Amino acid sequence: MALAGAGCLGLLRDLYSSVTVPNAVHDELVQGGKSGLGLSSYLAATWIQVESQGRIDPLLLAQLDRGEAAVITIALNKNSQTILIDERKARRIARTIYGLDVFGTLRVLLEAKKAGLIGNVSEILTIMRANGYWIHEKIVEHALRRAGEK
């Protein structure tokens, strides 16, 4: 939703062969749990596949919120090795326990800049942060150095 709120949801379509959102995340977004800005862009994105994640392991639900647990579950069910999750605890669990390749929204922006899809990571990040997207300042500084903007 951070990308949608900054008008950049299409970057996912442009960079990746497919984008799947588990039902649990979709429902969370539509019901307003974490929608914020960009919900209409998300709902209009017909290229996003919404799929059932199936039964979520209760151990995952004990550690993570339902959406993050659903992302890990659907990746495992589909034999997909790559997932987008920003929350640190969920990223750690996905990597260390399930061996998934986990990336965050900042990596999407860096890849988009490298591909020539955007001109400036900092400007988009500023919009995302103004919309409520939180990210540690050290991570921002590192990303901006990698983008050649600092």
CA-to-CA distance for 16 and 83, rounded, in angstroms? 11
User: pTM value?
Assistant: 0.90
Taking Cα atoms as reference points, which of 149, 102, 101, 103 lies closest to residue 125? 149
Question: pLDDT by residue (tens digit) across 81-130?
Answer: 899 999 999 999 999 999 999 999 999 999 999 999 999 999 999 999 99
- Give helix then strand counts, H and E, for the chain: 10, 4
CA-to-CA distance for 36 and 143, rounded, in angstroms? 24
CA-to-CA distance for 124 and 126, rounded, in angstroms? 5
CB atoms within 10 A of CB 39: 16
DSSP at 57: P
Are the C-beta atoms of 11 and 3 separated by less than 8 Å?
A: yes
Question: pLDDT by residue (tens digit) across 20-36?
Answer: 999 999 998 888 745 45
Locate the domains of the chain by residue range.
2-104, 106-146
